[in-house]
Structure 1
């Protein structure tokens, strides 16, 4: 920070970081540079570093600078999807014969990437309970190169101690990768707790309007950021300029949306915990949640995702999802509208039969920003 710069809060960075007014027109919103190539000032004379939009695009650059600022990292990188971001990172930091530890409650798509894609490339992985630091430490091998964690996790809302995991990973010269999608950088800052790389599906809370698919990585170390950027260009799964613009638009209201998501989720949890047809509510804001104290320490608030188990079993859980009206039955999460799903048959079908299989009576809701009384009434009727 220079002597003329002022400290800036999260909400200010979300609106301004990387998004200065256009120097040519004064436009206060970053333009969509819908362009594939750029005129060069002579052979090899790039104009402001741009030559081809797979390598760099001004709209994507603005988003990447904003992402880095929000997560407090050295380098942000935007991708075509969350899984594209994950794949690029893994092929940057791993090679055949390396080992990585993943959570026993990982997102189904992440598990599929390891189990069905990377193992064919020669990468080894093992599954550990990230809430039990001793178990994670015991899972380390001489060839362990990374520890991968989601906190809160999808869909069981498990909470892991980021600082504790960072110490374990670094003791073995491994990286700690934190999927921060459920929390968003507004609620949690993994790099400040010792994480090395943050992963996001920007499709979710960052975009926030269910109208874009995207992913992001933010690296704490500039050197690692450069390595990832090389692979981003070499592998090519980059965010298009319009998608980058949509994510930036969403980020501008991330703070105010997350406040509403969290407050609505707390009221939903109150209803569910008192309902006779609900056997268990999974939400880190509950004092009874095993990760509550850690979540209270490393998160600003407890998020807008809630999972619960239906007492009458799997078919009853499916019927709750089918009866919901205002809660839209659909995959994904983090949009302004509320969503409901049955993870075992939908988002986590790929882990059925594995160590990551989720309970068949589980329902997951992404609590939106609608009027809370309307949401509660819909859940009441859906539960019957």
Structure 2
């Protein structure tokens, strides 16, 4: 069940960026599961990747190839993660890059590979390599929606967002897609995202913009607390609009930075809304913390608590579970008498216990909603952080129990 995910917006083509999607039969015969993205010459590309130390072979190659220069093609398969596959998996990913290079006439290091799916199984590289010419022939300016479907695994629907930024009578376009529904925890987790813009941005600045935006979006979502092996987020600036964004264009830079943040946040929240088995979209906000780290520790303690998440699924206003999670978050010298905990508009905890104004009916009214906000006011400082999560349902267990069957 996707919580609050409506119709996708119009996905604007991005000049200088083409996409082709085809079927390689990586896991399911006939399914379109291979995506090729073509980047025009002169573009800048930035990336952020998983922090899982068992990162997949494609992630290692992406990081190495980016050190050698800007890419011309991104190649993505679903159905197999090519993770936990050792030297063989690394060579398989390189062979896929070589095949793209041969079809397109570029150097191997100009190809970045990406994979998502089951961990520990050998990549069926021959099927992928055989399908690359078809993906190349399918390249089109308007391939975003098909690609959004092509990168899905346990997702129930494609995820995409697009917007245009006005500047002095001209438009900058930003369009992106993402996938992910489980094994989602901060620092890039079973999540792939690809965003392109026709703005002109130097690589170092583009990397700074992406890293900052990812930290406030993809690194603030959690479904099950597992950090995956494959996850990657790429931001490409083709420069085709001729509008230059730089440190000296202060006003434009601020607007562009905000637009990138908007696109990434929409894509990240769509992943949470389509979380495996999710029936609730939950915002956990921590205010008046002594530090950002303290606020995040508290937010994640609540967001990761199986007892809190199952209470959310049951629409049960069992506020003691939230109080308990705050208490074990690891905050030194926490003044439990000075904090407040809110469930929606209902204050549930203050003065060290149940708020006098709280009623079970008020809590039940909030917990019955599809979208719920848990707000924790620590009264220790001026720092605030927000994370987004889901409930934990019976369907989550069923989906993951049946994943390889």
| TM > 0.5 | no
TM-score scaled by length of structure 1: 0.23
Which structure would you say has the larger Rg?
2
Q: Select the structure that is richer in strand.
A: 2
Higher helix share: 1
**TM value normalised by structure 2:** 0.22
